[in-house]
Amino acid sequence: METKPKKENLHAGHRERMRKKFLKSGFTCFSEHEVLEFMLFYVYRRRNTNELSHMLINRFGSLENVLKAHRSELLSVDGVGECCVTFLNSLWGLLHYFHMNPTEKGVCMKDADARCEFFRSRLMLEQNETVMIAYLDDSYCVEHDAVIARGTPGDVHICLQSLMRDILNMHCNVVMLAHNHPKGTTMASSDDIRLTREIGGLCQKLGIGLADHVIVADGKAISMIEEGLYTENMH
């Protein structure tokens, strides 16, 4: 009886080649779909994740959009189950965690570029409007920063009474505010300007300086001081 030669498995060793490629150069030599394909190796032991990565990126437009897609949207993709969704969402959550919990301390915020980058790195991944505050020492170095409010993609509410109480409890002399426009630009709205001036006035009455308000949008950030939209209230 004649035996048929085994067909060559075109995918044999593919995962191992990808692993070696990553160990040699990280993701620098990977395309977007290859990054996703590689990460999905750890969800699917035998499935062709190259095909799935192309399907996901074609559906959502980019790797970033895949990672931050809503659970229900991901589950609507053929073949994507709960484990895959949890894994993808956790990758986005991990990125967000490191942006919001950086290890550097004592960052000097005297320079507008420095404070714009400080807040840009923390707010760029937020999908809803988020307000942050940085508490500074007298040398304008960060002692602590925190999220004080989160809202919807187009709006956020700040309780001024709670904000003033928190500032007093931190026993600092200088603070800076920042918020993002997830669906817009860095252009300050009339409400942004009005609220900044109102908070600045309240801080001044307490002997505290509101040194700036930074707006983050579309991977960029602007200083309202530098844009001439606010004059620093010094303690």
Q: What is the spatial distance between Cα 168 and Cα 173, in angstroms, rounded to a whole number? A: 9
Tell me, yes or no, whether 74 and 149 share the same domain.
no
> Is the separation of the CB atoms in 70 and 48 below 8 Å?
no
Tell me, yes or no, whether 60 and 88 share the same domain.
yes
Owning domain of residue 149: 103-223
Convert the pLDDT of each residue in 80-99 to its tens digit: 999 999 999 998 888 877 76
Q: Are strands 142-150 and 130-136 parallel, antiparallel or unpaired?
A: antiparallel
Tell me, yes or no, whether 204 and 122 share the same domain.
yes
What does pTM read for this prediction? Answer: 0.64
Convert the pLDDT of each residue in 10-20 to its tens digit: 556 899 999 99
First-to-last CA distance in the chain? 95
pLDDT at 101: 62
Within a domain: 128: yes
Tell me, yes or no, whether 120 and 213 share the same domain.
yes
What tokens appear for 45 in the block?
């032991």
168-171 LR contacts (CB < 8 Å, sep 24+): 168/206, 170/135, 170/143, 170/144
Q: What is the spatial distance between Cα 7 and Cα 21, in angstroms, rounded to a whole number? A: 26
What tokens appear for 19 in the block?
């692993």
> Is the separation of the CB atoms in 137 and 193 below 8 Å?
no
Q: Are strands 174-180 and 220-223 parallel, antiparallel or unpaired?
A: unpaired
How many structural domains are present in the chain? 2
CATH code: domain of residue 130: 3.40.140.10
CA distances 162 to 109, 148, 158, Å, are 24, 9, 8
3-state secondary structure of 11: coil
Within a domain: 131: yes
Tell me, yes or no, whether 132 and 180 share the same domain.
yes
Tell me, yes or no, whether 76 and 123 share the same domain.
no
pLDDT at 235: 45
Residue partners of 163: CB distance under 8 A and separation at least 6:
133, 148, 199
Tell me, yes or no, whether 89 and 113 share the same domain.
no
pLDDT at 33: 92
